[in-house]
Amino acid sequence: MLVNLTPHPIRIYGWDVPDRFNLGDHEPQMVIEPSGTVARIGEIELGTQYLQDCPTSVEFVEYRHANGLPPRPEKGSPEWENPTTWYVVSLALALAQAGHRTDLLAPFREVRDLSGTVIGCRSLAHPV
């Protein structure tokens, strides 16, 4: 089962569609509607510093935490090894959780409209 934890429908198109086209010019092979729960990458601000030869302050921020994800399966459990529920999240969140979760997928090979806005993807990625 696929659960979309983003705020937008995930439209998956075939590999034969162009990189850019107007929404509606091609039909997606699949649409994964938002579940109503949005998972986001969490931020922990660690402080401000001034770096040598950098003309502005720099915030040190930790991004590996998540908000809105269901509990993760226990390592070594059947669900850890072979998930039956897959959660589609942003690439940033999936990358931040790689190694900590085995059940996260992210949109891969985006397609855009003629103005450059992402309108879908060609596949889903499993960051490892």
Phi, psi of 10 (to 5 degrees): -100, 110
Residue 59: per-residue pLDDT: 96
Residue 74: per-residue pLDDT: 85
Q: Are strands 104-112 and 86-88 parallel, antiparallel or unpaired?
A: parallel
pLDDT tens digit at each of 128 positions of the chain: 999 999 999 999 999 999 999 999 999 999 999 999 999 998 899 999 999 999 999 999 988 789 999 998 888 888 888 899 999 999 999 999 988 889 999 999 999 999 999 999 999 999 98
| Single pTM value for the model | 0.87
Q: Per DSSP, what are the bridge partners of residue 50?
A: 57
